Structure 1
Amino acid sequence: MSSSDKPEVVERDVKDEEKKDKDKEEGKGGFIEKVKDFIHDIGEKIEEAIGFGKPTADVTGIHIPSINLEKAELVVDVLIKNPNPVPIPLVDINYLIESDGRKLVSGLIPDAGTIHAHGQETVKIPVVLIYEDIKNTYHDIKPGSIVPYRVKVDLLVDVPVIGRITIPLEKTGEIPIPYKPDVDLEKIHFERFSFEETVAVLHLKLENKNDFDLGLTALDYEIWLAGVSIGGAELTKSAKIEKSGITYIDIPFTFRPKDFGSALWDMIRGKGTGYSIKGNIDAETPFGAMKLPISKEGGTTRLKKDGDDDDDEVC
């Protein structure tokens, strides 16, 4: 066998071919990597040149413009910043308010507007919480309590080059479930009594059954004795009723006893006469201003007999 037929010669040829193939693959791989790097660099340069990027958003505040015994109106402020040189449409806004993992209210706002190029805008999301629905669904949520909540907002925006993206947001807070104060007529102090005109002072007791303070700023009321209105008025009165606390208010008023007919004689003879009170209080709270109703029906009152003090007894 000649030297040219030796296996090592063939092996050397194979090795040469493998080396050539490897060089080709490395060259090919190097070329692909170079192309990828080039495209990436070009992409970054284009992005830098035209300034496309993802918008940012934040829940900047939650306001309670209106609250009463039936519902609370909330407004969620969401600040959105657009870093792009073109306006971007805000496709949808999904929102959810929950308490301890339980849904209180949810909704969708479609076609929520457009964020200007290189601009920022505050989008306001109005939400209404109906207390009756909440209490019917969650029986452990009691009137007068303060409920923790979590607001979840998903913003769906359409960004050129990047495409549609979702921006999730969250914020926590507390919302009250208001309860109307209890009112009682503790006593009536008569300063001057005559059939034509009687001047007296009502001593009202107001009990706050809420888990938050009430800063009383005004009171409007109307009072009935024996089914006859003895008048009403608006009274500006500043007082603080602490949570689960009691305060007393003196209200002056005048009336004409002769308008009561036989009911007046029942009072003079010591018989009980029915009274009712209806009205509203205006109060400042940690959650904003509230107007809460007050009412008392079915109470009885009578004039003291001779020898007693001149205060009316109230039952």
Structure 2
Amino acid sequence: MASSDKPEIVERGHKEDHKEEHKDEEKNEDKGGFIDKVKDFIHDIGEKIEGAIGFGKPTAAVSGIHLPSINLHKAEIVVDVLISNPNPIPIPLIDINYLIDSDGRKLVSGLIPDAGTIHAHGSETVKIPALLIYDDIKSTYHDIKPGSIIPYRVKVDLIVDVPIFGRITLPLEKKGEIPVPYKPDVDVEKIRFEKFSFEETVANLHLKLENKNDFDLGLNKLDYEICLSDVNIGSAELTESTKIVKNGICKMKIPITFRPKEFGSALWDMIRGRGTRYSIKGNIDVDTPFGPMKLPINKEGGTTCLKKAEDDDDDDEACYSSFSILSKFNLRILLLE
């Protein structure tokens, strides 16, 4: 048989395998293309739905910090956070974490769970209260002194649950300054008589108030109770407005009326011009750069001198003899009786 007459051997099985592979590839391509098309379709539909119904992430900002109450012992702080919800449904405010520190040192921190709900397509102000106890701060950080102003930073994490986005955290931060108040020092420099009798004596206390704070005090009101020689001579209120500059001194006159015959033997010390023991207690209402404050004034065991009304010399330490006071107020005859 001639070579040309030999039958051609065809590897059918091999060719059929290639055909099957080719068909599988075409099927995979068709399948992958279909899935990609479905994904694109879903993505497009999602974007259109999101755009149509307005789903989006909420925004938040610290809109203000207030000090509703501040005194020598504590400061109440309220942080206002404005939250805007662009979504067509309310979103829950799950947790609020807050921290107040000064130069990296924690002053106070806390957690407010289940803080409420932000209405759909609305903005609301959420108030975060915090309380600073000055004794805790001063006992922990000894370099923080009464009368000083310290920097602070408020850090807030708002945790909300938003449809589509899920649970997200909105971090916020705000810086400022807060005072550590110190009570003013009070002294009675002298007493000047306007009218003197055993039944009723009218005089002016020359009062010295020293502001030991690193900020000004706008004095609006003073209420006081004063004792001379351990005898309570009454109390009163003074509404004279004045300003006491930071680390400065303010001098003022306070009118008093008392009955010397109630002093007993202490009256003779007063008349003889000896130093008169006194104590004064009260409060002052002041305006500060950080808001209004009510600060106590307290002086015990002080000593002052009596001075005649028209003696306007500058010697605050001068005391007058029994003769000069008796002659001035014409008390010689009264005392003899």
Q: TM above 0.5, one fold?
A: yes
- Map 1:1-315 → 2, pairs under 5 A: 26-303=29-306, 313=317
| C-alpha contact (below 8 Å) 2:216/2:288 kept by paired residues | yes
| Coordinate RMSD, CA, aligned | 2.8
Distance 1:15 1:314 in 2: 124
Aligned length: 312
Q: In structure 1, the residue corresponding to 2:198 is in which secondary structure?
A: coil
Change (3 A) 1:314 1:92: farther
Give the unaligned 5+ runs of structure 2: 320-337
Distance 1:199 1:12 in 2: 128
| C-alpha contact (below 8 Å) 2:193/2:201 kept by paired residues | yes
| Higher alpha-carbon Rg | 2
| C-alpha contact (below 8 Å) 2:192/2:307 kept by paired residues | no
Q: Letter of the 1:189 partner, please give it.
A: R
Q: In structure 2, the residue corresponding to 1:270 is in which secondary structure?
A: coil
Q: Letter of the 2:257 partner, please give it.
A: T
Q: In structure 2, the residue corresponding to 1:217 is in which secondary structure?
A: strand
Q: Letter of the 2:209 partner, please give it.
A: L
Distance 1:303 1:68 in 2: 35
Distance 1:150 1:216 in 2: 29
Deviation at 1:245, TM superposition (A): 0.9
Q: What TM-score, normalized by structure 2, do the two folds share?
A: 0.84
Change (3 A) 1:5 1:181: farther
Give the unaligned 5+ runs of structure 1: none
Q: Letter of the 2:300 partner, please give it.
A: E
Q: Cα deviation per residue 1:55-88 (whole Å; 9 max; x = unaligned)? A: 1111100111111001011111111111111111
Distance 1:25 1:56 in 2: 45
Aligned residue in 1 for 2:322: none
More displaced stretch, 64-73 vs 113-122: 113-122
Deviation at 1:165, TM superposition (A): 1.3
